[in-house]
Structure 1
Amino acid sequence: MQLVVARIGRAHGIKGEVTVEVRTDEPELRLGPGAVLTTDPASAGPLTIETGRVHSGRLLLRFEGVSDRTGAEALRNTLLIAEIDPEELPEGEDEYYDHQLIDLDVVTADGTEVGRITEISHLPTQDLFIVERPDGSEVMIPFVEEIVTEIDLEEQKAVITPPPGLIDDRAEIASSRDDASGREES
């Protein structure tokens, strides 16, 4: 199974280093020296990590065979992909790989169907589930324990307790507001 672990950013300096946008919770495992990664587009790789270091809060990598700024710039926006064993699980008890969460059914605590997870968006402050609803629309659900109360991989579902307005249809909200304002006027 393949897992996108980073996206290459701009070149840093003149010796072939690049910034990377990390997309894994285990960068020390997936992005360490000696790691061989496939790429998207495939024409850029495979790439072997020669060195890695943190500079001003950003991870910088240098790849074997890339020794100057021109070579580093040519890799910009390339996705780095690691091969992982599909049975491998993260170290933490409540941690999951993206591939384990994609295609899970999302339901509320009372069993109401919300949709299916189609993507995980990793933002600086939190992760989001991108959920496709039965009508084809999408809703973003913060992957925080206050909202996502259970992940059941055996049942292939994520149980949520959404705050008001998170998954409610805008039309339903407007309708309930109209009903409320109509009652007040009577």
Structure 2
Amino acid sequence: MSTDADSAQVRVVVGRVGRPNGVRGSVFVLPLTDEPELRFEPGALLFAGPPADRELVVDELRFHNGKMIVTFMDSRSREDAESLRHSVLEVNVAAAESPEDPDEYYDRQLHGLRVVDPAGIEVGTVLTVLHLPSQDVLEVRLADGPIRLIPFVKQIASDVDLALGTVTVDAPAGLLEGDDLDGGE
């Protein structure tokens, strides 16, 4: 028997439309997902935000020189493709969906988790995940107010327990000290 919780869906961002490619309606897409082949497979339903504000069905996905090119079923001309430029693309996914690798997480799974030290003492809350060129970083609001950036690497963020809603952080000296990132005192 299926429950509402089992079928709950959340909308997640998977890409941003760039410039048109050619004259047949294809567009370059900047993927904002680690699973572009899954999210942009032919037949996938996507939702384009402003300026397009419409539903799109993927007709074709291909890569050229390391760039992702997508053709949507209702996009058959350069003008159609141009109307999609700058749109953020989203998909609906099951709220309970997780990556196959048990050491990987979707950003949405980490938002709001409590950050605790190895002794289990709460030190803050995850605000967001930043994807920097060198590594992913957790933006954390500490319990006493300031915001800190904590590298999301196994040596520092040693354990994520989604059931408990915690990230265990063994922070090196000084990582949780210093000036507040949001301009506070």
TM-score range for the pair, normalised by the shorter chain length: 0.7 to 0.9
User: Residues 117-132 of structure 1 correspond to what in structure 2 (within 5 A)?
Assistant: 117-132=126-141
Match among 79, 84, 87 for residue 78 of structure 1: 87
Of 16-25 and 149-158, more deviation after overlay is shown by 16-25
Structure 1 segments unaligned to the other structure (5+ residues): 172-186
* Identity among equivalent pairs (%): 39
2:31 counterpart of 1:22: yes
What TM-score does the superposition give when structure 2 sets the normalisation length?
0.80
1:65 corresponds to which residue? 74
CA–CA separation in structure 1 for the residues paired with 2:58 and 2:145? 40
1:78-98 per-residue CA deviation (whole Å, 9 max, x = no partner) reads 121111112222111212122
Pick closer, same or farther for the CA change 1:76–1:64 going to 2, 3 Å.
same
Structure 2 segments unaligned to the other structure (5+ residues): 1-9, 181-185
Match among 147, 151, 155 for residue 138 of structure 1: 147
1:57-87 per-residue CA deviation (whole Å, 9 max, x = no partner) reads 1211111111223322222221211111122
1:93 corresponds to which residue? 102
CA–CA separation in structure 1 for the residues paired with 2:25 and 2:131? 27
1:48 corresponds to which residue? 57
Match among 9, 16, 24 for residue 7 of structure 1: 16
What TM-score does the superposition give when structure 1 sets the normalisation length?
0.80
| Aligned-CA RMSD value | 2.2
CA–CA separation in structure 2 for the residues paired with 1:149 and 1:85? 27
Does the CA-based 8 Å contact 2:29-2:68 persist in structure 1?
A: yes
Structure with greater helix share of residues: 1
CA–CA separation in structure 2 for the residues paired with 1:11 and 1:42? 15
2:47 counterpart of 1:38: yes
Q: How many residues align?
A: 171
Does the CA-based 8 Å contact 1:23-1:122 persist in structure 2?
A: no
Equivalent residue letter for 1:86: A
CA–CA separation in structure 2 for the residues paired with 1:10 and 1:56? 15
1:168 corresponds to which residue? 177
Does the CA-based 8 Å contact 2:51-2:83 persist in structure 1?
A: no
Bigger-Rg structure (1/2)? 1
2:114 counterpart of 1:114: no
CA–CA separation in structure 2 for the residues paired with 1:154 and 1:42? 38
Pick closer, same or farther for the CA change 1:85–1:63 going to 2, 3 Å.
same
